[in-house]
C-alpha cells in the first residue's frame, strides 16, 4: 500500500528526537537547569489538559503566550499561569509598545515552535519575556517543552533567570 499514512505521536523516543524538543533540551542545559522532559501519551493543547495529565492544579501550568509587538515586530513571550488570562494592557505597559495577536505562521517562524507546544526557552528569535508573578508561589511549574505531548518541571525563579524574564503582573 502506498501513499500518506497517519503517524502516531505517542512514541516517547520519537517525540524526544523532535528537533524542537532537542532545542529545548539544549537551551535547558545551557541555562544549567536540571530537569527531564515529560512525555504525555496524548497532546495537551490546553493548560487544563496538561494539568489533568500531570495531576496538578491548572495554576501550576506555565503557558507560553506569544504576542507580536506592532511597531518593532518583536516577539513578546508572556509566561503565564494556566489559571490566568493575560491582560494585554499590562503587557503593553511593561514593554512600552502596542501588541497584537501572533498568528500560527509568526509563532512558528519566530519561535520555531508550533502552537500547542511553545516552550518558554529555546526560541529561534530571542523574545521580550514577561513572567506572571503569580507563578512564584509554586515550588515547581510545568511549561511545554517544544511539542504538544511534552513538558518539564522547573522552579519559576529559575525559569525567569534562564530566559531573562521581567517578573510582573500580567493579569
State the DSSP H helix or E strand holding residue 171, giving kind and residue range, or none if neither: none
Mean pLDDT of all residues in 35-51: 93
pLDDT of residue 10: 58
112 pLDDT more than 90: yes
Instruction: Using alpha carbons, list the distances in angstroms from residue 25 to 7, 9, 115, 162.
Output: 23, 19, 18, 13
Distance between CA atoms of 21 and 30, rounded to whole angstroms? 14
Distance between CA atoms of 163 and 123, rounded to whole angstroms? 10
Q: How confident is the model at residue 2 (pLDDT cuts 50, 70, 90)?
A: very low
Percent of the chain predicted with pLDDT > 70 = 94
Q: 31: which 3 cell numbers?
A: 541555562
pLDDT of residue 42: 87
Mean pLDDT of all residues in 44-52: 94
**pLDDT, the chain, mean:** 93
7 pLDDT more than 80: no
Q: How far does Cα 159 stand from its chain's mean position?
A: 11
CB atoms within 10 A of CB 27: 18
Contact 41, 9 (CB under 8 A): no
User: If you ran DSSP here, which 8-state letter would residue 20 be given?
Assistant: H
96 pLDDT more than 80: yes
pLDDT of residue 8: 44
Placement of cell 525567569 in the chain: 160
85 pLDDT more than 90: yes
Instruction: Using alpha carbons, list the distances in angstroms from residue 145 to 10, 37, 107, 139, 150.
Output: 15, 7, 15, 18, 5
pLDDT of residue 45: 87
pLDDT single digits (tens) 151-170: 999 999 999 999 999 999 99
Distance between CA atoms of 118 and 24, rounded to whole angstroms? 10
Q: Of 7-16, 47-56, 81-90, 116-125, give the lowest mean pLDDT range.
A: 7-16
* Entry pTM: 0.92
Amino acid at each position: 500500500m502506498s501513499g500518506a499514512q497517519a503517524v502516531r505521536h505517542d512514541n516517547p523516543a520519537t517525540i524526544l528526537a523532535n528537533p524542537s524538543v532537542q532545542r529545548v533540551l539544549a537551551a535547558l542545559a545551557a541555562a544549567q537547569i536540571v530537569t527531564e522532559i515529560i512525555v504525555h501519551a496524548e497532546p495537551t493543547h490546553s493548560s487544563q489538559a496538561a494539568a489533568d495529565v500531570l495531576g496538578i492544579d491548572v495554576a501550576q501550568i506555565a503557558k507560553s503566550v506569544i504576542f507580536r509587538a506592532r511597531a518593532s515586530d518583536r516577539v513578546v513571550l508572556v509566561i503565564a499561569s494556566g489559571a490566568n488570562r493575560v491582560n494585554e494592557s499590562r503587557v503593553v505597559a511593561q514593554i512600552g509598545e502596542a501588541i497584537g495577536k501572533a498568528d500560527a505562521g509568526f509563532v512558528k517562524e519566530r519561535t520555531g515552535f508550533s502552537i500547542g507546544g511553545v516552550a518558554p526557552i529555546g526560541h529561534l528569535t530571542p523574545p521580550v519575556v514577561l513572567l506572571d508573578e503569580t507563578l512564584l508561589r509554586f515550588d515547581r511549574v510545568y511549561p511545554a517543552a517544544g511539542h504538544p505531548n511534552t513538558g518539564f518541571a522547573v522552579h519559576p525563579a529559575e525559569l525567569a533567570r534562564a530566559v531573562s524574564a521581567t517578573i510582573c503582573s500580567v493579569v
